[in-house]
Chains A and B, each alone.
Chain A
């Protein structure tokens, strides 16, 4: 099980560009400690009360998302912002923010997965000097049972992280698709970033056709951009990955 998850996790990095190989795509530790406590502006509690009193008023959800972000609680801001864009599907600023939050949350899961994987390696691979659990000595003095419990727990964490990554990239893809859909044609040229972000989210979610289409559009809009060479280099790999495997 461990080997399977480790391989799946590693493949996620390689095939789907989880973590991003295109310059400027790394979000880093963006969710760590963002925002400051503030005495001004609507509080989280006030915003929740507003939603309770007026559940069909979209401003309450945006207010709550903003209040949560102000306190650095970005992952919690995703849900009210999702609700807000359901009610206000053409708010491009909110869609841009929501897509970014999903990408950032994916990065958080990546980091959690990496930590779990490192701990698993330490328990399983780093335990080379431990006595074999097959030997009488090992059965008496080994720590196989503890390692097994720990590794099961870490496998679960790794699995959750991997599922979380995939879900966040799918959500980011959905949001950036909406953003592209509500962006007027005449504004597309000014916002190549949304096609780049859609391409990266879709690629990381394994939705390669969408990624290719977004990257192609990006290159049309911003052929001389800083990210264009990396996108150009990425496209043949994605197209090749889409082709059916040759029969051997």
Chain B
């Protein structure tokens, strides 16, 4: 599946960024530019929906870590949506499952926005 990125607004200050396909430096070099740009435009909370993502590489993980830093300055948070064990394991390997809240579904994530306590490593 080819890489695809979509953004939609959830509320006043929350956005969903949907990533589909393989998100890595080679198949999706544009993700490294697009993701930070989108995150910069967002006021506070970001859900990165990886429901249709098949792979995430180390560079993209670094971009997401950078996004956390950016959003923290606005007391915002970056959360992830994925029920795919292949994807969640990628975050476990790097320990980043302790940096992001990972929800099993978008509904769950939306419900958790604002009420979830961001885990801190």
Contact = CB atoms under 8 A, between A and B. Distances in A.
B98 A34 contact: no
A247 B120 CA distance: 43
A34 B90 contact: yes
Given A40-B27, A191-B65, A100 B93 contact: yes
B64 to A, nearest CB: 10
Contacts, number: 98
Interface stretch (B37-45, B54-62, B74-82): B54-62
B22 A70 contact: yes
Question: How extensive is the interface on chain B, given as a class?
Answer: 20 to 34
B96 interface: yes
Interface of A: 24, 27-28, 30, 33-36, 38, 40-42, 62-63, 66, 69-70, 72, 74, 92-94, 96-97, 99-101, 103-104, 187, 190-193, 196-197, 222, 224-227
20 contacts: A24-B98, A24-B119, A33-B85, A35-B55, A38-B54, A40-B1, A41-B24, A41-B27, A63-B26, A66-B26, A69-B57, A70-B22, A93-B59, A96-B58, A97-B61, A190-B69, A192-B120, A193-B98, A193-B121, A224-B120
Interface of B: 1-2, 21-22, 24-27, 54-55, 57-59, 61-62, 65, 68-69, 72, 85-86, 89-90, 92-99, 119-121
